[in-house]
Amino acid sequence: MKELMTDMNFAEKLKEFTSNWVQATQEPFSNHWLANFFRNDVRKDIETLVKDFDNTYQVKASAGAGNWANVPWLSILNPKITTTTQDGIYPVYLFKADGSGFYLSLNQGTTIPTKELGKPKAERRAESIKQYLLSQLPELNFWGQQEIDLRAKTTLGQSYEPFNIIAKYYDISEQLDNAQLKNDFLELLNIYRQIQPIYKEIKTIDFDSQPQLHTQINASAVMKKSLPDDVTPLSKPFLLLAGISGTGKTRFVREQAKLTGSLSDTYCLTSVRPDWHEPSDVLGYISRLGGDGSAEYITTDVLQFIAKAWRAIIDAELELKADDDSRLIITGDKDQLNQVLPYWLCLDEMNLAPVEQYFADYLSVLETREWQWDDEQFNYCCDPLLKSATIKQLEDKDKLRKALGFADAMYDDAWDLFCSHGLSLPFNLIVAGTVNMDETTHGFSRKVIDRALSFDFGDFFPNDFDHFFESNVTHNALSYPIYSHANKRYLPETDSDGYKSIEFLKSINKVLDNTPFQLAFRALNELLLAVISADPKDEQQLQAVWDDFLMCKVLPRIEGDYDKLALMNEATSNNEQSLLTELATILKQELNDIWPTENYPDNLRPDLYRKNADDSVLSITCRSKAKLAWMQQRLERSGFTSFWP
């Protein structure tokens, strides 16, 4: 018998049980250590949390009765709602039959309704109750996901899925956060407490005699949240947040999800593993390891989150169709666009594995995004991440459809299009990778840097110890880009024809000429997109955009030793100064309104990503000047330099 550890925390116990589940089910059930561990150790941790919350609630757990269950569960019952797991509404931990993870679900008892009404009618009623609760408790819509996949093989195990109201999923291949698990559980208990008076109303409603009620509930169930009025659109939907550990990079992404949406709905954290070396680690793969040898698509959290972002687009009633090149096109207007929230995918410790390898498909598809505007109307298209040829290999496409959350009939047309043309990159997806540069991580090629906005986190969002308890600045809400190619008609009056920005980049390129760091059309397009996104109102703001562009797109590309960074003096044929010092000389002229000098030591620029707590403009020093000086000092000190801290 396996010796059980008594000093495990709650997360470790859940992981211990889940990871040993499949093996245990191949062994005799009677007096098995894992079943006892579940009924005793795991259950006691839940009971402790529940009793502190409300000592009238009951906790029940089952890993099977006489034989192993297909889907083990642990339920919390409010006696004023139900005293049995066979009926009513209650929070429950449901463990996937394949042992890959578990859900914390707000679910409904299935046995009694199915026996009394029959399966089809019971499921229709469960869906009506679900939609009624979502309409009465709007916060439920943003707490978790409405579809679950338990990989169940039995009728009972499968019956839990359509009765699910809302759930959060925990993948045991990832690090489980003990504090977050407890916080999620207590959040659901607080929601459950609010259901008690509503459940009394539900018991009095005859959903069958009021078929129109289900339609009304569906129409109003999700309270649509619009983008904030002062949101700042990004020029690229791919960010690299680099800095020393503990500066708050991951927290920044979480806070952005809160500012523009909901942490439980529009945010996904995925921890990158060092053994990721191909796109299937991120986007999934086809497996034929099932008993019948048929092709099955194994999804990932990332792919499921991408599908979730797609559902937000479809829910906003934007039109989805295919173009002549068999690419999916999204068509709509600005009012509809404002209803589509950004979905933030945070890849934590992104460079623990080689980004060029596991993220290759995304990096390629990212460059195929196309926005076209005609006044207030837009078209958006992009090449597929999950290709139609891959989907067509599957004998049972419905399993993939369910795993990606498209099982509802409202997604029928969209799913048909995805099967025919592939699942492309949704425009509302923002990928943010947190990056630590040390001996345990991989560097970035220019292929990655050119496709991202690279933020030295300490420069853009510095830690101010003096304002640890109460910050004196706030972060601007950021959102997805709505342009892919610069056009004169989008440019602001401060640079109406783009001439100023073009001349600025030409002056930079003169210094970078005949070096590996020279800039091409992509850089010019992204500079102009940055100007369009920031919409500067005067020269100082325009130069602030240029300054940030240097920090995000130009300086991250520069690295090397004395030989690589030396500039040749044509008159003497000697290497007399570095590329960095020459850049500083040029920038002193180009950024004259924001570049501090002896005559103008107080030259400042506006911060485009932060503001004072009272919403006034936050003035800061020129970022690129300080960064160039730091890189030059590093070159002189060690003989090698790079942008990265």
Same domain for 266 and 130, yes or no, is no
Among the listed ranges 58-67, 217-226, 338-347, which one has the minimum average pLDDT value? 217-226
DSSP β-bridge partners for residue 232? 478
pLDDT bin (cut points 50, 70, 90) of residue 199 is confident
Same domain for 499 and 372, yes or no, is no
Query: Looking at residue 146, what is its pLDDT?
Result: 87
Kindly tell me the sign of the dihedral angle through the C-alpha atoms of 171, 174, 177, 180. Answer: negative
pLDDT for 20 beyond 70: yes
Residue 85 lies in a domain: yes
pLDDT for 213 beyond 70: no
Residue 533 lies in a domain: yes
Alpha-carbon distance of 366 to 234, in angstroms, equals 14
* pLDDT tens digits along 384-434: 999 999 999 998 899 899 889 898 888 999 999 999 999 999 999 999 999
| DSSP letter, residue 76 | E
Residue 290 lies in a domain: no
In degrees and rounded to multiples of 5, residue 28 shows phi and psi of -55, 140
Alpha-carbon distance of 161 to 119, in angstroms, equals 13
Among the listed ranges 53-62, 259-268, 357-366, which one has the minimum average pLDDT value? 259-268
Grouping H, G, I as helix, E, B as strand and the rest as coil, residue 356 is helix
Query: Which comes out higher in pLDDT, residue 602 or 533?
Result: 533
CB 632 within 8 A of CB 641: yes
Residue 2 lies in a domain: no
Kindly tell me the sign of the dihedral angle through the C-alpha atoms of 256, 258, 261, 263. Answer: positive
pLDDT bin (cut points 50, 70, 90) of residue 2 is very low
pLDDT for 624 beyond 50: yes
Query: Residue 480, exposed/middle/buried by CB under 10 A (0-12, 13-18, 19+)?
Result: buried
- Domain holding 503, by residue range, is 489-645
Residue 408 lies in a domain: yes
pLDDT bin (cut points 50, 70, 90) of residue 6 is low
Residue 178 lies in a domain: yes
Q: Which amino acid, one-letter code, is at 224?
A: K
Same domain for 237 and 210, yes or no, is no
- Of residues 309, 297, 312, 394, the one with CA closest to residue 343: 309
CB neighbourhood size of 398 (10 A)? 11
Same domain for 213 and 233, yes or no, is no
Alpha-carbon distance of 23 to 5, in angstroms, equals 19
Residue 295 lies in a domain: no
Say which residues have a Cβ less than 8 Å from residue 111's Cβ, sequence separation at least 6: 86, 87, 156
Q: Which tokens go with 99?
A: 């042992």
pLDDT for 321 beyond 50: yes
Same domain for 516 and 437, yes or no, is no
Same domain for 496 and 622, yes or no, is yes
Same domain for 247 and 348, yes or no, is yes
pLDDT for 233 beyond 80: yes
CB 456 within 8 A of CB 628: no
pLDDT for 525 beyond 70: yes
Same domain for 385 and 455, yes or no, is yes
Same domain for 536 and 589, yes or no, is yes
Does residue 175 come out as left (phi exceeding 0), alpha (psi in the -120 to 50 range) or beta? beta
What's the mean pLDDT in 630-643?
92
Q: Which tokens go with 142?
A: 């943003």
How many domains are there within the chain? 3
Residue 113 lies in a domain: yes
* pLDDT tens digits along 504-521: 999 999 999 888 899 999
Same domain for 208 and 234, yes or no, is no
pLDDT for 572 beyond 50: no
